[in-house]
Amino acid sequence: MNSFEIFLAAQTSGAAGWIAERASLSGVDGAGAAALYLALKIVFGVAAIGVVMCFAALSVVVERKVAGFIQGRFGPNSTYIPYLMLVPVVGKTLRRLGLMQLVADGLKFLFKEEPLPGHVNKFWYTLAPIISLSPVLICACVVPFGVFEHGGKATALAAANFDLSLLFITVLGSLGVYGAVLAGWSSNSKFSYLGGIRAGAQMISYELVMALSLAPVLMWIAPRVSSPFNLFEIGMSQSGMWNIFAQPLSALLFLLALFAETNRQPFDMAESETDLVSGFHTEYGSFKFGLFFVGEYGHMVVGSSVFICVFLGAWSPLPGLSWPLEWGAWCGVLSFLTFILKILAMIFFFVWVRWTLPRFRYDHVMNLSWGKLLPLALANFAAYMVLACFIK
Amino acid sequence: MAIVVVERKKLSFWERTYLPQIAGGLWITLKNLFRKKVTLEYPEQRPALPARYRGAPTLVKDPDGREKCVSCQLCEFVCPPKAIRVSPGAIAEGSPYSHIEKAPAKFEINMARCIFCGLCQEACPESAIVLQKEFSVNGFDRKSFIRGKADLYEKGGVLPDNVMKWRKASLNAEKSKGGR
């Protein structure tokens, strides 16, 4: 048994494990299967990142479209690719949906001149957008996008599925704020600086609320699952009832914290354009701004998928229903589609709220967190601790 | 005047949570989502212009096909951005309207300067210059914005008024015999 085989024996899990196992069953030797397994892991990681990036891009379109619709406009509906317009219905539909606008915007960011202002700290200024985006992409690999049957066991359709994945995703997700803080500081501009400070302060305040709102859920499901910190297990535990019904207050607190963490209106203190021009990315342009932009939407997608996994029943289409595992690959496809649909619904909700609520004042945001939400989250936590004693 | 202390309405618990208000706001925006769109998709859809819309100025002819402009240059004089340039010229001897004495030899409106104010139309004693409905004037260089006489008459067309004040009695008789 070489080291690859030991590795294989210890680590095979998920879809990559499934395929590698099939390969070794059909005559591929251990080392080959292990190599295949590793390669597939990378492919799946890239695929997960691809899904999140696609949704980040799509949410930009959704944002612009929904914004238009709510304001009685059409939103982007004129951009088109000439040759694509020759396809009868498809071209026109894509044009009306504004999907080609997405391509145009992306190319614009890519091909614009890359300005580097003279007054910035060049190293950190360049690094900040990368720091802002990369945690989101790493988080994407942990999100279980679906469930399928493997060896008689439910298996996560995730690039990486491990215990503590919930902890991993919350910790890494909040690292993204370093991007905002560094951008604010390195830009050497008052507006950016204030934006960075606000981003940091807000993140610290709402991170507490977020963690405290997750704790009761973990206690709630702990008796039923083997590892309550695993996103996949949390998702699986909700085949009977979604956590949002069992723990509405936790869900509300988590959602509020999520809005604050993703810097979405009404909590977008860090870039409130009324008082800070554009906040922490005031000095950014072209592709570097594009990275911030995508990072923000990617954060939204990952945050939504955590909310879906923890509260909205993950892959179950309706409360109390779940796709039967016996359907094999179909179960995987259907659960994936359900999850995707839920992410879309969440994105719509984010956008819907943005065009409904006005931005809070900064001190209101801080007051809401420390004065209202944190005590509420603590009380909720304590209440479920007491309740958990009785339930057991 | 006595100071009236207004009693603040005591907010209920739910009002203080702000949540019902958020739900109400979301309901309103959701209704707006399905409302009829107010956007006019311009190049494909054209706006309905009112009857007396002031678009680009044009020169018009009367129903006899006579150019109404008598080259008095009042429009040139009144034009605030100095967009109009009229060069008076004589009317040919043989013309039945030779008694009018002048007609524009050249009549140029620089549409890059024109501000669509309509003072030329107001000043014109002959109703020869009329602002019509063209509102989108485009060109690739400055020269293309200068509209000459032929262009202006082509865009103007015929003004259907029957005040034939320059028509001579003899011509009138001839015309009325012809069934007008």
The answer to whether residue A131 sits within a structural domain is yes
The pLDDT value recorded for residue A26 is: 67
For position A10, what pLDDT does the model report?
A: 47
CA A190 and chain centroid, separation: 30
Closest CB from A69, A72, A356 relative to B25: A356
Checking ipTM against 0.90, whether it exceeds it is no
| List of chain A residues whose C-beta atoms are within 8 Å of the C-beta of residue B44 | none
pLDDT at position A391 = 67
- Backbone φ/ψ region at A160: left (φ over 0), alpha (ψ -120 to 50), beta: beta
Give the distance from residue B46's alpha carbon to the nearest chain A alpha carbon, in angstroms.
16
pLDDT at A119: 85
Separation of alpha carbons B104 and B40, rounded Å: 41
User: Could you tell me the pLDDT band of residue B180, with boundaries at 50, 70 and 90?
Assistant: very low
pLDDT in tens, A132-145: 888 888 888 888 88
d(CA A318, CA B22): 25
List, in order of start, the domains of chain B with CATH numbers. 57-170 (3.30.70.3270)
Chain A CA closest to residue B34: A69
pTM: 0.79
Does A361 lie at the interface with B, CB-CB under 8 angstroms?
no
Can you give the pLDDT at residue B175? 64
Provide the domain limits for residue A211: 113-391
Q: What confidence tens digit (pLDDT) does each residue in B18-60 have?
A: 888 889 999 999 988 888 888 888 888 888 899 889 999 999 9
Q: Across the interface, do A72 and B30 touch by the CB < 8 Å criterion? A: no
How far is the CA of A359 from the CAs of A46, A61, A263, A269, B17, in angstroms? 36, 22, 11, 8, 17
The verdict on residue A295 lying in a domain is yes
pLDDT, position B84: 92
Asked whether residue A265 is domain-assigned, the answer is yes
What mean pLDDT value characterizes chain A? 81
Interface test with B, best of A63, A64, A69, A264 (most B CBs within 10 A): A69
Task: Please check whether residue A91 lies inside any domain of the structure.
Answer: no
Instruction: Flag whether A214 is in a domain.
Output: yes
For all residues of chain B together, what is the average pLDDT?
86
Window from A109-123, A205-219, A322-336, A365-379 with minimum mean pLDDT: A322-336
Residue A52 lies in a domain: no
The mean pLDDT of B153-163, rounded to a whole number, is 85
Counting Cβ atoms within 10 Å, is residue A127 exposed (0-12), middle (13-18) or buried (19+)?
middle
Question: Chain A: nearest CA to B36, how far in angstroms?
Answer: 7
pLDDT 10s digits, A224-239: 888 888 888 888 788 7
Q: Which residues of chain A have a CB within 8 Å of the CB of B35? A: 72
Please give the pLDDT value at position B177: 61
Instruction: Tell me how far apart the alpha carbons of residues A170 and A258 are, in angstroms, rounded to a whole number.
Output: 10
- A281-312: pLDDT as tens digits: 888 888 888 888 888 888 888 888 889 888 88
pLDDT (mean) for A368-377: 89
With CB atoms and an 8 Å threshold, state whether A356 touches B26: yes
Q: Across the interface, do A356 and B33 touch by the CB < 8 Å criterion?
A: no
* Gyration radius of chain A over CA positions: 22
Distance from CA of A93 to the nearest CA of B (A): 16
Number of domains in chain A: 1
Q: CB B41 to CB A69 under 8 A?
A: no
Which of residues A262 and B78 earns the better pLDDT score? Answer: B78
Return the percentage of chain A with pLDDT > 90, whole number.
1
Which has more confidence, A352 or A148? Answer: A352
A78 in a domain, yes or no? Answer: no
Answer whether residue A1 shows pLDDT above 50. Answer: no
In a domain, A36, yes or no: no
A348 touches chain B (CB under 8 A): no
- Does the CB of A355 have a partner CB in chain B at under 8 Å? yes
Among candidate residues A188, A120, A139, A126, the one with its CA nearest the CA of residue A303: A139
